[in-house]
């Protein structure tokens, strides 16, 4: 377990070492940005519906390790908790937001 944060719905969301390895292997630029993943989950700008029952937290960052980007964190809530599925950066969050904004700051 690398850490936990409380989501906007009051659920304890965990990030495991296995998931972080998956994220960094798929998106090497995410290495060193674990704090931004936790911050995005805890204090997103927008939460969007995922493909099925997942939620997608989105937060804009003027400066990241690669440039100005939005951090996208896909996670699942269940019971009193939940877990991170994946995370990545994008400069075009519009496509993701089309799935339906369910919460906005």
Is the residue at 9 inside a domain?
Answer: yes
Q: What is the pLDDT of residue 40?
A: 98
Is the residue at 36 inside a domain?
Answer: yes
Which pairing describes strands 46-49 and 12-15: parallel, antiparallel, or unpaired?
unpaired
Domain range for residue 48?
3-98
Is the residue at 88 inside a domain?
Answer: yes
pTM of the shown model: 0.96
DSSP β-bridge partners for residue 15: 3
Counting the structural domains of the chain, the total is 1
Q: Please write the tens of the pLDDT for every residue from 77-105.
A: 999 999 999 999 999 999 999 989 999 99
Q: What is the pLDDT of residue 87?
A: 98
Is the residue at 103 inside a domain?
Answer: no
Q: How confident is the model at residue 75 (pLDDT cuts 50, 70, 90)?
A: very high
């Amino acid at each position: 377990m690398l850490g936990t944060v409380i989501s906007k719905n009051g659920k304890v969301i965990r990030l495991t070492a296995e998931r972080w390895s998956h994220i960094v292997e798929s998106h090497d630029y995410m290495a060193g940005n674990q704090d931004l993943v936790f911050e995005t989950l805890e204090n997103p700008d927008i939460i969007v519906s995922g493909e099925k029952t997942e939620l997608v937290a989105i937060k804009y960052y003027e400066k990241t390790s690669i440039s100005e980007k939005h951090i996208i964190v896909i996670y699942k809530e269940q019971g009193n908790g939940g877990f991170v599925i994946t995370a990545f950066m994008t400069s075009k969050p519009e496509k993701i937001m089309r799935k339906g904004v369910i919460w906005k700051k």
